[in-house]
Amino acid sequence: MWRYEAVVPTIGDAWRGLTMGEGHTPMAFLDPSEPNVRVKVEYMSPTLSFKDRGAVVLVALAADLGVERLVVDSSGNAGTAIAAYAARAGIRADVFVGASAPASKRTQIERLGAIVHPVEGTREDVAEAAIASVRSSGAFYASHVHNPLFVHGVKTYLYELWEGNGRALPDVLVLPVGNGTLVLACAIGGRELLRAGLVADLPRIIAVQSARCCPVHDAFHERAPRRATPTIADGIAISRPARLPQIVASLHESGGTTVVVDDDAVRVARAELGSVGFDVEHTAAATLAGYRAALASDPTLAERDVVIPLCGAGLKTP
Ligand SMILES: *Cc1c(COP(=O)(O)O)cnc(C)c1O
């Protein structure tokens, strides 16, 4: 991804010592019988998810600033990615996770040398504990949600798509949305390419949420938010995304929309991906389930050039 160094904000060159070859992920047809749909295999990343694109930039900033300790709140792929780059930078990482986070995720973070702090309560309680620790210790808050540099790293996803697609963006981007880093990254990258005169239009974004936790979908359709319940697509189950208004505005700007998928559709999509050789975690299968749902309500999508990211590897969830 450092091919796009010119558009990634850094203040020094710590990234040169931290990079593990993140980005530059392959594109492939999902199935040759459906040539309008391609996948970008984001799980071929050092810690097996697209979060590496943002984590390397965030930890490079911390390293350039001479930080000795950082704090992050995520039991998922962001926590793992930040722990990995912090290890490379020789920065101590304290990772706050929900007490109910699966043991496999905790041990993955611990193997990367980070200190895991389980917190009882909601996602918000975990964030509060992390922020309290930042306040009392003066550590660097390596938040993938709040620190915009994370999104600017993730933005390389769109630049790669553009270059790999013959210097043109596809018609439709199907994207998962939890905290919205990938949606916002594609919106920012699209605006940059537009401003530079390198594309004529923004691609339409179809944002996918779980039917069990869909604040972006509800806000986009101007409905009162529903109560969230647990889903197997836990990586997109964010009940109060901090950047909700920007996410909704970006979807409108792209001429896009939202779809929701239930857990059964996610299981079916995971099996479909497996049947053509792609082993992804549940959350990462939600995007294909979302495309299938969008196609059912709008058959013209079959004539559009569509790209779906495969965000996380199958080994991440049982
Ligand atoms: C982080 C993540 C998402 C959701 O991304 P947001 O930036 O939270 O919208 C989706 N899938 C996987 C596998 C992820 O790790």
Model confidence over 124-139: pLDDT tens digits? 899 999 999 999 999 9
Q: What is the per-residue pLDDT for 50?
A: 98
Which residue, judged by its Cα, is nearest atom 2 of ligand 1? 235
Question: Does residue 263 carry a pLDDT above 90?
Answer: yes
Q: Which residue's CA is the nearest one to ligand 1's atom 12? A: 311
Residue 52: CB atoms within 10 Å: 29
d(CA 188, CA 10): 17
Ligand 1 centroid, distance to 193 Cα (angstroms)? 23
Q: 62 and 36 in contact (C-beta within 8 Å)?
A: no
DSSP per residue, 24-72: ---EEES-TTSTTEEEE-TTSSTTSBTHHHHHHHHHHHHHHTT-SEEEE
Q: Please list the residues that pair with 277 across neighbouring strands.
A: none
Question: pLDDT grade, residue 105 (50/70/90)?
Answer: confident
Q: Average pLDDT for residues 266-283, to the nearest whole number?
A: 97
* Mean pLDDT calculated for residue range 19-37: 96
Phi-psi category of residue 4: left, alpha or beta, with phi > 0 → left and psi -120 to 50 → alpha: alpha
Q: 3-class DSSP state for residue 108?
A: helix
Query: What's the confidence (pLDDT) of residue 103?
Result: 82
- Residue 157 has a pLDDT of 98
The average confidence (pLDDT) of the chain is 96
pLDDT band at 98 (very low <50, low <70, confident <90, very high): confident
pLDDT tens digits, one per residue of 177-204:
999 999 999 999 999 999 999 999 999 9
Binding site membership of 80 for ligand 1 (Cβ less than 6 Å):
no
Residue 138: per-residue pLDDT: 93
Q: What confidence tier does 317 reach under pLDDT thresholds 50, 70, 90?
A: confident
Is any ligand 1 atom within 6 A of the Cβ of residue 89? no
Q: Is 311 in the pocket of ligand 1 (CB under 6 A)?
A: yes
**CB 182 near ligand 1, within 6 Å:** yes
Strand partners, 117: 96
pLDDT digits (tens, 9 = 90+) for 65-93: 999 999 999 868 999 999 999 999 999 99
For 100-104, 203-207, 232-236, which range has the lowest pLDDT when averaged over its residues? 100-104
Please list, residue by residue across 2-12, b when 16 or more beta carbons sit within 10 angstroms of its beta carbon and e when fewer do: bebeeebebee
Dig out the tokens for 208 from the structure.
């996918």
In the chain, what is the straight-line distance between the N-terminal and C-terminal CA atoms, in Å? 29
pLDDT at 39 over 90: yes
Ligand 1 touching residue 45 (CB < 6 A):
no
Distance, CA 43 to ligand 1 centroid (Å)?
11
Task: Kindly state the tokens that stand for 29.
Answer: 């047809």
* CA separation for the pair 279, 315 (Å, rounded): 8
The predicted-structure confidence for 224-257, as pLDDT tens digits, reads as follows: 989 999 999 999 999 999 999 999 999 999 999 9
Q: Kindly tell me if the per-residue pLDDT of 122 is higher than 90.
A: no
Residue 102's pLDDT is 76
pLDDT above 90 covers what percent of the chain? 92
C-alpha separations of 275 from 34, 71, 278 in Å: 14, 39, 7
* Whether the CB of 283 sits within 6 Å of ligand 1: yes
Residue 149 has what pLDDT?
A: 97
pLDDT 10s digits, 48-70: 999 999 999 999 999 999 999 99
> pLDDT by residue (tens digit) across 149-177?
999 999 999 999 999 999 999 999 999 99
Residue 309: pLDDT over 80: yes
